[in-house]
Amino acid sequence: MSKSAIEPMPVNFSNPFVRYFAATRPAFLMATLAACLLGQTGAIYSGIQIQASTAVLTILLALLVHAGVNVLNDYFDALSGTDAINTERLYPFTGGSRFIQNGVLTPKQTAYFGYLLLGAAMLGGLWLSRQVGVGLLIIGAVGTLIGWAYSAAPLRLNGRGLGELCVLLGFLGVVMGADYVQRRAFSLQPLVVGAPYALLVTNLLYINQFPDRKADAAAGKRHLVVRLPLQKAVLAYPVLAGLAFTWLLFATAIGKLPMLAMLSALPLLFSARASWLLRRFAARPAHLRPAIQLTLAAMLSHALLLSIIMFWKTP
């Protein structure tokens, strides 16, 4: 794949603030914003009075962590060489931000920036933990470690087939952290609320790995899509979507969520369509862009619908 006009190039980023902001892949930070929204509306549904200042600070710190993880993932993927040799990428969804490969930032600049973002998030998290409790410190530390270890040497968890687990736990942690800041205690409620969303985010990571499959295999990045035969790898996508639906059905059946929450399962129709497209085009990743977009739509619209329903049905 040649450098596309839509990919970042140095001429488009003469302003350093815009350059570094764009390097965080801000559009994809919506996933963390949605997770925070779920955690906070889940707390409201439990009868917790939300504090606006800590709610906003929680979102900002979670976004900083996600941004730092995005930037460091670019850095470590550049070190492994997978992004440089990826000719089947579907920018901006797969193949990294292209900031290093297209000369917008150097690897050293990328690494420094990523660690700066994580450092700022850690300092803010320490202060917030003093206000709301040590539980937030535990959630934040585990989440940051998972995000870093996802692609960082020597752990490189995604390359060892553990990337899906990292994303699942990471986004559950965001929902739990947003809930904890308001509740100031651990609860099962954010797990109930956040599990379907975390599974759908995991599906986004999973489908994004199909266009990157050949490059990742060549670079020794052996995630599940590389490890499994292609036709078997395809089957994991509907399984994850099915688990999200099953969890939501179970949570409403036992009264942990209002029955109206089943309406938030409607976006899984997007997942069903994406699953069909993946089955058809897994071996021809150039045709997977619509499936990736449908997966993104499924996870974000589910989070928005469930958040609205919980807020509306607050006892």
Q: Give the chain's mean pLDDT.
A: 96
pTM of the predicted model as reported, rounded to 2 decimal places: 0.96
The answer to whether residue 5 scores a pLDDT higher than 60 is no
CA Rg, the chain, in Å? 19
Higher-pLDDT residue of 150 and 315 is: 150
**Assigned token pair, 20:** 């570094």
Answer whether residue 294 shows pLDDT above 70.
yes
What is the pLDDT averaged over residues 192-211? 98
pLDDT tens, residue by residue, 108-148: 999 999 999 999 999 999 999 999 999 999 999 999 999 99
CATH code for the part of the protein at 15-312: 1.10.600
Domain-by-domain residue ranges, the chain? 15-312
User: Does residue 87 surpass a pLDDT of 60?
Assistant: yes
pLDDT score for 4: 46
Confidence of residue 91 (pLDDT cuts 50, 70, 90): very high
Across 206-240, b (16+ Cβ under 10 Å) vs e yields: bbbbbbbbbbbeebebebbbbeeeeeebbebbbeb
pLDDT grade for 315, boundaries at 50, 70 and 90: confident
Q: What is the pLDDT of residue 3?
A: 45
Closest CA to 90 of 290, 289, 291, 296: 289
